[in-house]
Structure formats: structure tokens, C-alpha cells
Amino acid sequence: MKGEINMSRIVIALGGNALQANPKDTTAEAQLITAGQTSETIVDLIEEGHEVIIAHGNGPQVGQLVATYEAAASINANSPVMPFPECGAMSQGYIGYHLQQSIRAEMRKRGITKEVATVITQVIVDENDPGFKKPTKPVGSFFTQEQANKLMTEKGYTMKEDSNRGWRRVVASPLPIDIVEKSIIKTLVDAGHIVITVGGGGIPVIDTGNGNLKGVPAVIDKDFASCKIAELINADLLVVLTAVEQVAINFGKPNQKNLSKITAEEAKTYMKEGQFAPGSMLPKIKAALIFVEAKEGRKAIITSLEKAKDAIREVAGTIITK
């Protein structure tokens, strides 16, 4: 019911703006400040009694790490280029550190004594996933068209123009099949701890047989990974945070209409009409549908960080139900 608070197990998928508010200031100091601001909203939900599990993206951060190693290797033959899966793991670690520190500080400020931990998370993907044949996931910094052409020629990168903001490298974005550390995550959540997991969508790995795993160069969409962990730990609610308060149809047009509440069937109709941009809103809608259709009574919310608390009370955001 609108305005009421029901205690829920909530997976929150943080968007890029919740980790790096200013794309032009990519310093660790700036990201830590943003993590502190984001933590206020997260702790609002913890304070209300919800069980909160945090997932997040890592597109800019993992791209920066890759670029840093490449730059070092170009001037020093003894500096190896670090593989993409390792860069993904590093980004999980340092983003998790920022969030852990910020959430802990905000909880202590409010007299909340819960513990918070990051689980470096591996996510199993299919090596034959069609995503490997058609890279679509933007990572790293923005480049001019001239710089992009040079990277395509010299390094063999796939580069694409990103929403009139410049050119970015794109990598494969396979769908998640399973989460290796799911039992550990569930144990921590069941014990009442705050867990940060599937950072950057998780480190994509393939099962090579006999229980052996191998990292692959890709970025799993954090919305699909968030949906997967929400399913596996039996969450009640999936909250996907983005830059806008509500999902809209006819976006950016004179007849734009914001959506407060839609059913899965209505969402599918809008998808068929091409209402949602493939690189931004579409994966969020798809992840929300997978989650709500998997079990009765589940809800998904798409909204901004600032409106998350109100959206859980169903007085803001876009609520998606079966």
C-alpha cells in the first residue's frame, strides 16, 4: 500500500552516477565523496529495518584500470598489461572498499551496529553466449572520433559512439548463468550483515570442467547480475537506480509520458514498440521483468538514488509488477 513501510529483503543496483557523480573527475577522492552521499540513501533503508544487498556497475572504473596498465606497458616493457578479468576484480575491491567505509561511517553516525562486507564475486557465463560475437557494453573513458579510430587500428578495440557524449570502447556483455559465491552471500545476509556483491556485474568466468573456472574479457550488465543475485537469495524487491526518477515512453519527445506503475505485459508491449534505449533503459526493464515473473509477489522499482526511499513506499519511481 502506498506510503506504508513493509520490511523487505532488497537488492539495490547502483548506477554509475551513484559511484562517480562527475564523469570528468575520476579521482579516488571524488569517488569516495560520491560513495558517502550514496550511503546516506542506503542507510535510510537499513534504518527502516530492510535487509539490504548492494550491487553496482564498474564501467568507468574498469576502463580506467585497463587504460592505466596499457599506458604503463607502452612506456615500460617490464609492465605487463593486466587481463580484463583481473581489472574487474580490482574495481570490485576498491569500489567495495569505498562503499564499505562510507556505509559503516553513516551507520555508526546513526547508532546502527550492523557489519558491512564486500564479496569479490565470480559470475558464470556461457562461453558460447552470442554477446561475445557482438560487443555492446561501454567501458572506460570517452574519446574523440579520431582517438577512437586510432585505438581500433592499433589495439583492435571495438569502439562505438555513446549517446552524443563521445566514443567508448565496448566489450562483450554475456548473460549471467549462476553466481559462484551465492552460498556465502546468502549466509552473510541471513546473519543480518550488509553485503556488497556482483560488483560491475561480477567477474565473468566460464566453467572449464572439473570445477575449474577461467576469467574471460567481458562486462556482465550489472542490472542482469543484480537480478540473478536477487533471485538466488530470494529477495522481495529489486531496486534499479538510474539517473532519472521514472521510466518514460516517448522519451525526450513532446508527448513524453512518465510511468508510475506498469505490469510485465505492459512493459513487454512498450519493448516491442522500441520505447527503451538498448544501452540504457532496456536492460533495466528486462532485468526487472525476469525478477518479477520468476515468483509471485515480487516487485521491481526503477528510479533515481534520491527517490529510492520514496519509491519503496510507492510514492515515486516506476513500480513493475507481474
Contacts of 277 (CB under 8 A, 6+ apart): 251
- Ramachandran bin of 153, using left for φ above 0, alpha for ψ from -120 to 50, beta for the remaining angles: alpha
DSSP code of residue 307: G
16, 59, 63, 201: which is the annotated catalytic residue? Answer: 16
Whether 309 sits among the annotated catalytic residues: the reply is: no
Q: Please give the Cα distance from 222 to 109 (Å, whole number).
A: 30
58, 63, 201, 284: which is the annotated catalytic residue? Answer: 284
Whether 17 sits among the annotated catalytic residues: the reply is: yes
Whether 137 sits among the annotated catalytic residues: the reply is: yes
Residue type, 236: D
Phi, psi of 246 (to 5 degrees): -140, 155
222, 228, 286, 299: which is the annotated catalytic residue? Answer: 222
Contact in structure between 242 and 303 (CB atoms under 8 Å): yes
137, 228, 307, 309: which is the annotated catalytic residue? Answer: 137
Phi, psi of 160 (to 5 degrees): -140, 150
Q: Which residues pair with 300 in a beta bridge?
A: 238, 320
CA distance readout (Å), 322 to 2, 56, 268, 275, 293? 18, 25, 11, 19, 6
Residues with a catalytic annotation lie at 16-17, 137, 222, 284
